[in-house]
Structure 1
Amino acid sequence: MLDYRQTAVDWAHDPTDIIVLPVGALEQHGSHLPLDTDTTIANYAARIIAEHFQAALLPALPIATSFEHSGYRGTFSLRPETLMAIIRDLSREAEEQAFRIMIVVNGHGGNFSLAPVIRDINRQDRPLKILLAALSAPLPDIFATRSTGAMDMHSGEVETSIMMHVTGRDYPAPPSGGRQGILEQPDLNTFGIGWLNDQGVPGHPELASREKGAAALDIIFRHEIARLQARITMLRQNPRYHH
């Protein structure tokens, strides 16, 4: 695979036509996880995906759309229109460099604007097509890695466990980590994370472990790599959006 630490000569001589773009976020994750948690996880996942497909890896977008975390100092957001424009610009650059498939690895569930801009680019039937890999997809098997059936939306058991595994560090949970609201993720269009939990942690980080993080990532990678492989095969056979 290629990555951004190699030279332009390396990139010029590599025949891959697949490129991977991680998209993270810069937002509060309570008192126990760093602001760049989503970017850290997106980078980790994108590298594994790039290695699997022998693709080129771009550096992560470290700031995206985190309006649901407004009110917490340290959280920064792009407008959805800005994020969409960045995807348009980078996909055009990739297309001009003979890449034909871009995999966008989304590490933040609040980056809702990625899906419509990807759909709009794909429907134009340009030479490059974009696939979206969503690390926060609600896979049923991941629920089995949790100790509770309660909501675990943000900075909770699963996300904290994944960070423990990815970074090799422990993250002591905040005392109020277990207090939760009762809303679902789509409700974040109406209510912010601070409405759910004033500590910014609607979940159970006190139940996290490195073993759970490894198990959750194994499920995510098995699902996403198989799904991406199937879609890449379909695009190789017929890349057109329309019939």
Structure 2
Amino acid sequence: MKTDLLTMTRDEVQRRVQENPVAILPLGATEQHGHHLPIGVDVYLAEGLARRVAEKMNALLLPSLPFGYSWVWRDIPGTVSLEQHRVEEIIKDVAKSVRRYGIKKLVLINGHDANNASMKYATRELMDELDLEIVYLFYPGMEQIHETLCESETWHGMIHACEFETSLMLALKPELVNMEKAVAEYPTKPPLYGKSTISLGELSKSGVYGDATKATKEKGEKLLRYFEQEILSLLK
């Protein structure tokens, strides 16, 4: 049964909404992920996970949002960054649009950390504006599963082009991963990082935060299964 909205006719969409008024919106970003991964990592991961959940739930899979708030990488070729409040407004516009033809639950599945604030505040505002249930998720249970499956430490709790994301890409889009260029880098964290305009783009030479060399397809597949089950459990 089809789940991808873009491949369906208006009649198929109408029937699906009548049967199960749930839509899933993957949120990504267009930004650098080191020299071994493509620019679209956050889009591919959010969409890949969202597709698995949509198929299990018989839900509508909306087109992925390919742009997010990527200010820290704004000077690196390939980056396309939206302002934070604009990401929030896009989420709200999508919610208002799908609600008009009967969607009663909207699930946001995010692949880009900086989108979390936009999801949070858009959802709060929509609660006062729409009769629509909204759930927003960013790798639920990530800390626990990272400790279980990953060999390397995170860079101060952050994931970016590391063992975690590289493993997921090896499971979903292995043809786009060049492990010969994978590196490990843990930049020094300045005392004013997070309290000033010092950005990630200024700290890492490779664009990697963590150890991408320890990534494997097997780890990625286990991570995908874990997050799929976590999301399905939360939504039930």
TM-score range normalised by the length of the shorter chain = 0.7 to 0.9
Contact 1:32 1:171 (8 Å CA) reproduced: yes
One-letter identity of the residue aligned with 1:12 = Q
Contact 1:164 1:171 (8 Å CA) reproduced: no
Identify which of 42, 45, 56 aligns with 1:41.
Answer: 45
In structure 1, the residue matched to 2:165 is 159
One-letter identity of the residue aligned with 1:165 = A
The answer to whether the aligner puts 1:194 opposite 2:178 as a matched pair is no
Contact 1:173 1:205 (8 Å CA) reproduced: no
Stretches of structure 1 lacking an aligned partner (at least 5 in a row): 230-243
**1:204 Cα deviation after fit:** 0.8
Q: 144-153 vs 82-91, which deviates more?
A: 144-153
Stretches of structure 2 lacking an aligned partner (at least 5 in a row): none
**1:220 Cα deviation after fit:** 1.6
Paired residues for 1:81-160 under 5 Å: 81-111=85-115, 112-122=117-127, 124=128, 126-135=130-139, 138-151=142-155, 153-160=159-166
In structure 1, the residue matched to 2:212 is 205
- Aligned residue pair count: 225
The answer to whether the aligner puts 1:30 opposite 2:34 as a matched pair is yes
In structure 2, the residue matched to 1:232 is none
Contact 1:39 1:60 (8 Å CA) reproduced: yes
TM-score (norm 2): 0.87
Contact 1:121 1:129 (8 Å CA) reproduced: no
Q: Provide the rounded CA distance (Å) in 2 between the counterparts of 1:66 and 1:136.
A: 22
CA distances 1:2-30 after superposition (whole Å, capped 9, x unpaired): 32211111112222210111111000011
CA distances 1:129-156 after superposition (whole Å, capped 9, x unpaired): 2110212763312222111234262101
**1:172 Cα deviation after fit:** 1.5
One-letter identity of the residue aligned with 2:118 = S
Contact 1:68 1:110 (8 Å CA) reproduced: no
Percentage of pairs with the same residue: 26
Q: Please tell me the root mean square deviation across aligned C-alpha atoms, in Å.
A: 2.1
One-letter identity of the residue aligned with 1:195 = E
Contact 2:154 2:209 (8 Å CA) reproduced: no
CA distances 1:65-85 after superposition (whole Å, capped 9, x unpaired): 111222211111111111111
Contact 1:20 1:50 (8 Å CA) reproduced: yes
